[in-house]
């Protein structure tokens, strides 16, 4: 049976209670990823660079190897990424006093300012993404998603999870 050329297009499949969670999470994550790419585009390595800079600023000075492991980034790739960050005065490498072979990655003051600006831009992008919800509902959504994610994957590092997802998506 062929469709009548004048007939309206068939309705898309209905989202049911058994598919709504996966659909909603995928739609939000895809749009979140697109927006974060846009606001981090001027940082070396974009979203990946943002995750690295955030980890350097928010964690005690990590070693290069620990940082690569935490974020799921190949150690060789991390070396090139950090080389670029050093050139841009975002981070510096310091010898680990406990192990001369290891290098600690420390954010510069410029790197901290850049991250603060990026954090504000990412937060604004997230607010825009969720603008269809009332502010209290936005907060509740974030809280509930964090609680569900923590229960589903206890002990997983949030930065590492996001890094692996975005890398798989090409971000």
In the chain, domain spans: 36-168
68/66 Cα distance (integer angstroms): 5
Closest CA to 60 of 92, 105, 96, 102: 105
Per-residue pLDDT at 7: 56
The SS3 assignment for 12 reads coil
**36-168: in CATH 1.10.10.10:** yes
Tokens 């502010």 found at: 135
66/75 Cα distance (integer angstroms): 9
More confident residue, 6 or 138: 138
The token pair at 44 is: 């070396």
Residues constituting the chain: 171
Mean predicted confidence (pLDDT) in 4-13: 53
Task: Compute the Cα dihedral for 129, 134, 139, 145 and give only its sign.
Answer: negative
Write out pLDDT tens, residues 74-102. Answer: 999 999 999 999 999 999 999 888 888 88
Write out pLDDT tens, residues 112-146. Answer: 999 999 999 999 999 999 999 999 999 999 999 99
């Amino acid at each position: 049976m062929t469709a009548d050329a004048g007939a309206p297009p068939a309705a898309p499949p209905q989202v049911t209670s058994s598919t709504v969670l996966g659909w909603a999470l995928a739609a939000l994550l895809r749009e979140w990823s697109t927006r974060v790419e846009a606001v981090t585009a001027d940082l070396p390595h974009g979203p990946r660079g943002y995750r690295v800079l955030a980890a350097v600023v928010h964690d005690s000075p990590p070693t290069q190897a620990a940082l690569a492991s935490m974020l799921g980034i190949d150690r060789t790739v991390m070396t090139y990424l950090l080389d670029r960050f050093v050139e841009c005065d975002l981070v510096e490498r310091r010898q680990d006093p406990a192990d001369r072979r290891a290098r600690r990655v420390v954010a510069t003051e410029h790197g901290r300012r850049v991250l603060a600006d990026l954090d504000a831009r990412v937060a604004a992008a997230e607010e825009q993404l969720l603008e269809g919800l009332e502010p209290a509902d936005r907060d509740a959504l974030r809280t509930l998603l964090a609680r569900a994610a923590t229960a589903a994957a206890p002990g997983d590092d949030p930065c590492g999870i996001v890094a692996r997802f975005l890398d798989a998506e090409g971000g």
